[in-house]
Structure 1
Amino acid sequence: VILAAGDGTRLNSNRPKVLHEVCGHPMLHYVLRVAGEVGATRHVVVIGYEGEQVRQSFRNRGDIEFAEQTERLGTGHAVRMAQPGLKGYTGDILVLAGDTPLLTAPTLQKLVQWHRHQDAAVTILTAEMPEPKGYGRILRYEDNRVQGIVEEKDANRYERAIREINTGSYCFDAQALFQALERITPENVQNEYYLTDCIRILVEQGCRVEAVITEDHTEAIGVNTRVQLAEAERILRQRILVRLMMSGITIHDPSSCYVDEEAEIGKDTVLYPGTMVMGPSRIGKNCRLGPNAQIVASTVGENTVINASYLNGAVVGDGERIGPFATINGGKGV
C-alpha cells in the first residue's frame, strides 16, 4: 500500500506531490520499483488531490490498483481506503510513503526479513536523524522495546529531543493492521486518523512490535518542500554517478555533471565538467562528452567526441566529432 494522496501544498504546486520528478522520474516511480524489488506483486496506491493525474501518469502499469481518499483525514484513514481492495488477504502488507524516493531495496528487504523472522504484528523502519524536525519520534521502554510513535505536533519537548524517527515505512501482518485500524480515532492536535496510532494499539494488545534502523538516514528523507526535492535529487544523482564511476566511467567533476537514472554509458567514456546526459540516452564506449555538453534521449556510438553541444533525440555513429556549439534535434549526427 503506497500513500500518494498528498496535495503538494508546501511544494507550492498544482501537481500531486508524488508526480514531482527526481532524476527524470516521478517520486512514485521509485517507491513502486523498490516495492517490486523486494517481492511485492500487488500495488495499491492511495490517491487524492488531482488523483486523475496520477492515474494517467501510470496508466501503462497493469500491476497498480488505485484507491481514492476524497477527504484528507490522515494516514490511518488513507490506509482504510485501501482496505476494501485487500479483503480476505492474510499475508504481510508493506505500507510505504509515496514521497520517499531514496528508499533502497536492501533496506526494505531487511525490514521484511526481520518482520518475518520475529513473527511480528508490525515492524517499523526507523532512522537516526541528525535533525529530526518534522518527523514522528519513536518511543521506547527502558528495555528498548517499542512503545509507540508520537507525531511531532503532539510531542512534548522531551519527546522532540528524540533522534530516532519514523520513516513512514512499515511491514504489517494484514489481520493485525485491519483490526488496529478499526480502533483508531482522531483525538489529536490535527484531528486526523493517524496510522501511527496502530502501533500503540498493537503494543497495548500485547502484540509483537519490532523496529529496524536504517544504516543510511538519507533513505528516510520525505519530500515536502522544493528544498527537500532538491536534496533528494542531489543524493540520488550522487548515487548514480558513484555507480557509473565504479563501472569504469571517468567523471572529472561530479558536482557539475548530471546523469538521469535511465541513461546508459559505456566503459571508458569520460564526462567533462558541465555535462548532462538525460532521459533514455545510450552512450557507447570510450566517448568524450563535454565540457558543457547536453545530451537528451539520444544514442551515441563508440569513440565519439561531443564538445559544448546540444543533442535531443539524435543518433550519432561511431568515431564522430561534434561541436563545439552544435545543435542537433533528431536525425543522425554528422
Structure 2
Amino acid sequence: MKNNYSDVGAIVLAAGKGSRMKSDLPKVLHEINGQSMIYSVLSCAVSLLGRQVVVVVGHAAALVQKSVSRDFDVLFARQEALLGTGDAVKSALPVLPRKVAHVLVLCGDVPMIQPRTLAGLIEFHRREQNDVSVLSVHLENPTGYGRVILDKNNQLTCIREEVDATDAERKNTRINSGIYCINKEFLIDAIEGIDCDNAQQEYYLTDIVKIAVSRGGKAGSLSGHSAVEVMGVNTPADLHRVACCMAEKPNELS
C-alpha cells in the first residue's frame, strides 16, 4: 500500500495474560485460521508503517517476542507490571523512532482490523489536527465496552469505561474500539497526567481524551463502518466468533 506515513509509528498492546481464555498460552498467540491474532494485527500495521512498530510485551514476554520475531522485523518494549493500557503505552514511548510524530495505538487481540481503516484514521487525525483521535463504532449491544461520550455539539469529551459509567452513559451505543491516533508530543506529556483513580485501579489510556479537553486541546472520534472489524477477543467464545466472521463475512473486512 502506497502511503506517506513516514512520520507515523504504532504501539501494539500485547502484554496481557488473557486469563479468561482459560489457557497458559498468551492471549495474542491464540490462533485463528492457522495464524496468531497478533500476526493478523502486525500484518496490518507493518503494511502501512514498516518497521516503525513497537510491540509491548509483558506476560510470557519471551514467548510472544520469539513468535512475533519469526515473521516481523519490529521493535519491542517491556511492560514490567501489568498496570493498564496507559502504563503499557508509556513503556513503549522511549522505543519509538525519533522521527515519529503521530502514534497509532492498536490492540493485539483485535485481529480483524484492516489497513484502509487505519489509513482513514490517520488521515482524519491529520486533517482535523487533533491531539488525539479515537476510532469508534456503534453496537446494538455495547455491554462490556467503554463508551465514547460526546457533548451536545457532537464534540468528543471523554471515554468512560463501563465499570465507571453512569446508567445514562451505559445506554450510549457508541463504543471505543481501543484504537487511537495520537500526536506524540501530546502523548508524552499527557501520559504523565493519567492516574489510577478508577474501579480497576489501572492507568487507562482513555484518560488522555479528558486530559486533552481539559487543556484546551482537540480530541475527535471517527466512526468506523464495520463493528465486525474491531471485535476484540477475550474468551474462547470470542475467538470462535471472530474465526466465523473471518470465514463468513470477508466482504465486511474489505
Measure, in 2, the Cα distance between the counterparts of 1:62 and 1:104.
17
1:190 aligns with 2:200: yes
SS at match of 2:49: coil
Identity %: 37
Show CA shifts across 1:216-263 (max 9, x none).
1111111000111001000111245999xxxxxxxxxxxxxxxxxxxx
Equivalent residue number for residue 107 of structure 2: 97
Structure 1 residue 131 displacement after superposition: 1.0
| 1:39–1:55 CA distance, 2 compared to 1 (3 A) | closer
Equivalent residue number for residue 131 of structure 2: 121
1:202 aligns with 2:208: no
| 1:25–1:207 CA distance, 2 compared to 1 (3 A) | same
| 2:241 corresponds to which of 231, 238, 245 | 231
Structure 1 residue 122 displacement after superposition: 1.1
Equivalent residue number for residue 180 of structure 2: 170
1:212 aligns with 2:217: no
Show CA shifts across 1:42-96 (max 9, x none).
1100011111111111223452111111211110000011012137445111000
Equivalent residue number for residue 25 of structure 2: 15
Checking the alignment, whether the CA contact within 8 Å between 1:90 and 1:175 is kept in structure 2 is no
Structure 1 residue 120 displacement after superposition: 1.1
Measure, in 2, the Cα distance between the counterparts of 1:148 and 1:32.
28
Checking the alignment, whether the CA contact within 8 Å between 1:125 and 1:212 is kept in structure 2 is yes
Equivalent residue number for residue 260 of structure 1: none
TM-score by length of 2: 0.91
Structure 1 gaps of 5+ residues are 244-334
Equivalent residue number for residue 148 of structure 1: 158
Measure, in 2, the Cα distance between the counterparts of 1:143 and 1:208.
14
Structure 2 gaps of 5+ residues are 1-10
Measure, in 2, the Cα distance between the counterparts of 1:106 and 1:87.
23
Show CA shifts across 1:190-215 (max 9, x none).
11111000111011111111111111
1:108 aligns with 2:111: no
**Higher Cα radius of gyration:** 1
SS at match of 2:38: helix
1:85 aligns with 2:103: no
Range moving further from structure 2, 85-94 or 15-24:
85-94
Show CA shifts across 1:122-149 (max 9, x none).
1100000111111100011100000010
- 1:70 maps to a residue whose letter is E
| 2:73 corresponds to which of 54, 59, 63 | 63
Matches within 5 A, 1:240-279: none
| 1:25 corresponds to which of 35, 42, 47 | 35
Higher relative contact order (CA 8 A, sep 6+): 2
| 1:238–1:62 CA distance, 2 compared to 1 (3 A) | closer
| 1:50 corresponds to which of 54, 60, 65 | 60
Measure, in 1, the Cα distance between the counterparts of 2:47 and 2:68.
18
Q: RMSD over aligned Cα, in angstroms?
A: 1.7
Measure, in 2, the Cα distance between the counterparts of 1:57 and 1:41.
16
Checking the alignment, whether the CA contact within 8 Å between 2:226 and 2:252 is kept in structure 1 is no
